[in-house]
Amino acid sequence: MPEIQALAFDVFGTVVDWRRSVAREAEALLAPKGVALDWGAFADGWRAKYVPAMARVSSGARPFVALDVLHRENLVDLLAEHRIGGLTEAEIDALNLAWHRLDPWPDVLAGMARLKRRFILASLSNGNVRLMVDVARRAGLLWDAILGAEVARAYKPTPEAYDAAARLLMLDPSECLMVAAHPSDLAAAAARGLRTAYVHRPLERGPHREATRPAPGTFDYAVDSFPELADALGA
């Protein structure tokens, strides 16, 4: 096998704790308006609309739009389901930016600094460029390039999302390591020839819903943190 030259990262769940961050942002905006909710469940509900919304783009039922657009449509639906009314358009826009203010998992920055010395680090997320830029600037993430859905104009797990990343990095797919907490993402990357690293993120879905670890050997690497990934890669 050729040497790995670049790491392509899933972001939501793998790099950042979207659930706790979105719950915090929703509470900060809605609680002062008298809304009382299970904020973690609100974040889950928002996230649950993500895959079907992207699927309509990936199937060709609608042209490509940035994830911010899908997030906002889904938010409007979610607010209606919770019978939360009276928000202005500007307030809904502000709440939609919750996804631009996601905190990294505690091990991320130390691991990225080590990995960056040896490898090209690219985001390969379904989040759009501006969302990724805002998250990275706020959290201090060390991307060399923002790739992913908006640059490829294709959402994961569409093959083009992975193909575009390798092509833009001028690498053979086998020189790229997809890093993700989600077996489906890794399986789709492997089908396009990328190598795979599973990162176990037991708290992504909140307490008491720990992710199932894939069977040993399913992916090229399986780790519990970014520093452990750096160890495994000799970085």
Residue 120 CB, nearest approach to its own copies (Å): 6
C-alpha 42, offset from chain centre: 18
Place of tokens 């680090």: 121
Binding mask 53-92 for its own copies (x = CB under 8 A): -------------x-x------------------------
Number of residues that bind its own copies (CB under 8 A): 19
What's the sign of the alpha-carbon dihedral 117, 133, 161, 217?
positive
The verdict on 133 binding its own copies (CB under 8 A) reads yes
* Crossing angle of helices 67-81 and 89-96, rounded to 10°: 120
Q: Of the candidates 1, 90, 170, 215, which one interacts with its own copies according to CB under 8 A?
A: 170
The verdict on 8 binding its own copies (CB under 8 A) reads no
The verdict on 220 binding its own copies (CB under 8 A) reads no
Q: How many CA atoms lie within 13 A of 107 on its CB side?
A: 15
With contacts defined by CB under 8 A, name the span among 16-24, 87-95, 107-115, 146-154 that binds its own copies.
146-154
> What is the spatial distance between Cα 137 and Cα 195, in angstroms, rounded to a whole number?
28
With contacts defined by CB under 8 A, name the span among 8-16, 162-170, 176-184, 212-220 that binds its own copies.
162-170
43 with 26: CB under 8 angstroms? Answer: yes
162 with 124: CB under 8 angstroms? Answer: yes
Nearest to 220, CA basis, from 192, 196, 191, 203: 196
> What is the spatial distance between Cα 32 and Cα 29, in angstroms, rounded to a whole number?
6
Q: Taking the CA atoms of the chain, what radius of gyration do you get in angstroms? A: 18
The verdict on 169 binding its own copies (CB under 8 A) reads yes
Q: Of the candidates 144, 160, 224, 228, which one interacts with its own copies according to CB under 8 A?
A: 144
The nearer residue to its own copies, 74 or 128, going by C-beta atoms, is 128
With contacts defined by CB under 8 A, name the span among 9-17, 52-60, 125-133, 177-185 that binds its own copies.
125-133
- Applying CB under 8 A, the residues found at the interface with its own copies are 66, 68, 120, 128-130, 132-133, 136-137, 144-147, 150-151, 168-170
